[in-house]
């Protein structure tokens, strides 16, 4: 991320969903600091759904646990909203530790990005910029609606290997370092 | 085979972010960090509250019940989620490790209670540990990492 680049969230309509006062304050401080002026704070899943049906929202940032309710259900619901432009809204799901049993459900909810806590302003801004630039088409199947998951963030590998495909220009897709999760976390 | 429908990306975000105005990226991050700093007192208060709840829950002797596991997991996840934001990165890491252990304990493991107890004691030491030299804090976290590895191995054998 170029620190001398500019970011403009002044006209971006952002929905924040978090059930805890501290969690909401963290999100609000981060996005206010980024210069966002239109923050819609929702404390419950019901409130978020109502707001999403009544207002135009450009970016949804939500916690995966909203007072015991799974926040990712909002994204799943949103992606299935017929004839509502918000169903394509960019979404960032913010999550603490995820239990093994929930990993797949979380991954498959249709979010554009999953950011692991603890949050940092830098990581969040990187993800917002990334999400704003992405061009992945949406796909809809019987059990999934959201950005195409066959996505790789291309990163060129500096040292090419010895395999012929690696050495041939256009001889295969570049190796990628991809991941839908962003976290500074390392095991304790 | 189920039908797949492709729809062009119609996100409005990029368009909403264009136009004059805004901030330098460096300013945006600095302003957000300054705002987060204001949250340090309530943030530390919330971490202490979560730790107190964990300690009270674990004061009950005997095997870990499902309710105890759920409470400890929930409160540890709060510490994991905010520790590093409020200058308690070590506690955050220990809490994340505790979440992992509890998640693995969905199957009953002999090491369950002792592993959770060790994490809880470590959290208490790390919290009261302004006097704890950094190297000792790191050693404590390394010990928890070894313990977590052991629990993982044990869970994988089941």
Please write the tens of the pLDDT for every residue from B10-69.
Answer: 889 999 999 889 999 999 999 999 999 999 999 999 999 999 999 999 999 988 898 999
Start-to-end CA distance of chain B, whole Å, equals 35
Sign, CA torsion A11/A12/A18/A22: negative
Residues contacting B145, CB < 8 A, separation 6+: A187, A188, B97
User: Is the model's pLDDT at A174 over the cut of 80?
Assistant: no
Q: In this predicted model, what pLDDT tens digit does every residue of B77-86 receive, in sequence order?
A: 999 999 999 9
A42: left (phi over 0), alpha (psi -120 to 50) or beta: beta
Reading the block at residue A62, the tokens are 């939500």
Highest mean pLDDT among A64-78, A153-167, B27-41: B27-41
In the prediction, which pLDDT does B107 show? 67
Q: In this predicted model, what pLDDT tens digit does every residue of A97-124 receive, in sequence order?
A: 999 888 888 888 999 999 999 999 999 9
In the prediction, which pLDDT does A151 show? 63
**Mean pLDDT computed over A46-70:** 94
**A 7-66 near B (Cβ less than 8 A):** 7-13, 22-23, 25-26, 29-35, 56, 58-59, 65
Beta-carbon count within 10 A of A28 CB: 18
Q: Is B62 on the interface with A (CB under 8 A)?
A: no
The ipTM is 0.91
Q: Is B158 on the interface with A (CB under 8 A)?
A: no
Q: In this complex, which of A29, A97, A99 lies closest to B39 when CB atoms are compared?
A: A29
Q: In this predicted model, what pLDDT tens digit does every residue of A125-143 receive, in sequence order?
A: 999 999 999 888 899 999 8
Reading the block at residue A171, the tokens are 């001889």
Q: Nearest chain B residue to A100 by CA: give it.
A: B103
In the prediction, which pLDDT does B76 show? 98
When pLDDT is cut at 50, 70 and 90, the band that residue A152 belongs to is: low
Distances (CA, A) of B45 to A154, B28, B58, B79, B115: 42, 27, 20, 11, 26
Spatial distance between the Cα atoms of A84 and B154, rounded to a whole number of angstroms: 49
Q: How far is A177 from chain B (nearest CA, A)?
A: 23
């Amino acid at each position: 991320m170029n620190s001398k680049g500019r970011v403009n969230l002044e006209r971006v309509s952002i929905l924040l969903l978090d059930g805890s006062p501290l969690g909401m304050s963290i999100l609000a401080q981060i996005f206010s600091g980024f210069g966002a002026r239109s923050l819609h704070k929702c404390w419950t899943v019901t409130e978020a759904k109502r707001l999403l049906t009544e207002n135009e929202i450009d970016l949804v940032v939500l916690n995966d646990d909203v007072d015991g309710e799974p926040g990712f259900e909002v994204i799943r619901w949103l992606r299935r909203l017929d004839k509502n432009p918000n169903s394509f809204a960019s979404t960032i799901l913010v999550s603490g530790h995820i239990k093994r049993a929930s990993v797949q459900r979380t991954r498959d909810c249709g979010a554009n990005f999953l950011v692991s806590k603890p949050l940092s302003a830098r990581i969040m801004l990187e993800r917002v910029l990334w999400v704003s630039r992405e061009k992945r088409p949406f796909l809809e199947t019987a059990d999934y609606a959201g950005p195409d998951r066959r996505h790789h963030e291309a990163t060129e590998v500096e040292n090419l290997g010895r395999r012929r495909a690696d050495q041939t220009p256009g001889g295969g897709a570049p190796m990628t370092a991809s991941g839908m999760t962003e976290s500074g976390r390392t095991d304790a | 085979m189920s039908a797949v429908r492709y729809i062009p990306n119609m996100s409005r975000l990029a368009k909403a972010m264009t136009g004059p105005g805004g901030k330098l990226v460096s300013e945006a991050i600095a302003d957000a960090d300054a705002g987060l700093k204001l949250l340090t007192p309530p943030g530390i208060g919330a971490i202490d509250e979560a730790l107190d709840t964990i300690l009270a829950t674990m004061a009950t002797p005997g095997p870990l019940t499902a309710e105890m596991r759920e409470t400890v997991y929930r409160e540890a996840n709060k510490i994991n989620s905010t520790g590093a934001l409020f200058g308690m990165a070590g506690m955050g890491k220990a809490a994340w490790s505790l979440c992992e252990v509890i998640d693995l304990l969905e199957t009953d493991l002999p090491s369950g209670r002792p592993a959770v107890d060790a994490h809880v004691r470590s959290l208490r030491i790390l919290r009261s540990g302004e006097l704890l030299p950094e190297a000792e804090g790191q050693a404590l976290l390394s010990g928890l990492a070894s313990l977590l590895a052991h629990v993982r191995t044990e869970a994988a054998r089941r």
